[in-house]
């Protein structure tokens, strides 16, 4: 009876050692911040996004550029460098457009939509297969009876945040 207990304990100890070795050899990378980057990537550079839209919001280029830098600082372990980072973000603001959305009696718009589109060139110098050039856009609808200057100041940061979240997911989070 004592021999059976001893064999059982030895067998359990062997299973625990084997499981420990197996689990340590299987590494799974996960992140609660959504960051999915090679450990070789240490830096990023964000170049100024000039506004090439027909309708120009004079503060948009600065807002977009600075908010992208802020998002990268807060949501990634990377360090900012002025030029030639491991990751480089550059591009232009392609479109800034207000369109009527829902027409009511008398051909007046009840709702308008502000759409902002940017074109981004993303360069990953560590893994060039991840690099791309593509457009991102976002929009917000607003009541057409509201003062445009008040609405613009309120919804532009919301749209920029949506666009930058999509950009972050396409690059850093690699979704």
CATH class entry, domain 33-171: alpha beta
| More confident site: 22 or 41 | 41
Closest CA to 91 of 44, 54, 52: 52
The count of residues in the chain is: 175
How far out from the chain centre does Cα 107 lie?
Answer: 39
Report d(CA 13, CA 7) in Å as an integer. 10
pTM of this prediction?
0.78
End-to-end Cα separation, the chain, in angstroms: 58
Band the pLDDT of 86: cuts 50, 70, 90: very high
Helix (H, G, I), strand (E, B) or coil at 170: helix
Task: Tell me the per-residue pLDDT of 110-147, one tens digit each, with 9 for 90 and over.
Answer: 899 999 999 999 999 999 999 999 999 999 999 988 99
Q: 10 Å Cβ neighbour count for 124?
A: 20
Q: Write down the pLDDT at residue 77.
A: 93
Sole residue written with tokens 């908010």 = 67
């Amino acid at each position: 009876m004592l021999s059976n207990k001893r064999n059982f304990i030895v067998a359990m100890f062997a299973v625990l050692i084997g499981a420990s070795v197996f689990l340590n050899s299987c590494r799974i990378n996960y992140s609660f911040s959504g960051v999915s980057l090679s450990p070789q990537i240490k830096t990023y550079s964000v170049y100024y996004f000039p506004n090439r839209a027909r309708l120009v919001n004079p503060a948009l280029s600065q807002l977009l550029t600075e908010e992208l830098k802020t998002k990268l600082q807060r949501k990634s372990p990377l360090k900012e460098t002025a030029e030639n980072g491991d990751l480089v973000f550059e591009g232009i603001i392609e479109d800034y457009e207000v369109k009527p959305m829902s027409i009511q009696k008398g051909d007046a718009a009840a709702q308008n939509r502000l759409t902002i589109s940017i074109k981004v060139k993303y360069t990953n110098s560590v893994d060039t297969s991840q690099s791309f050039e593509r457009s991102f856009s976002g929009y917000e609808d607003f009541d057409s009876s509201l003062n445009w200057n008040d609405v613009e100041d309120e919804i532009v940061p919301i749209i920029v945040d949506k666009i930058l979240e999509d950009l972050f997911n396409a690059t850093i989070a690699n979704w």
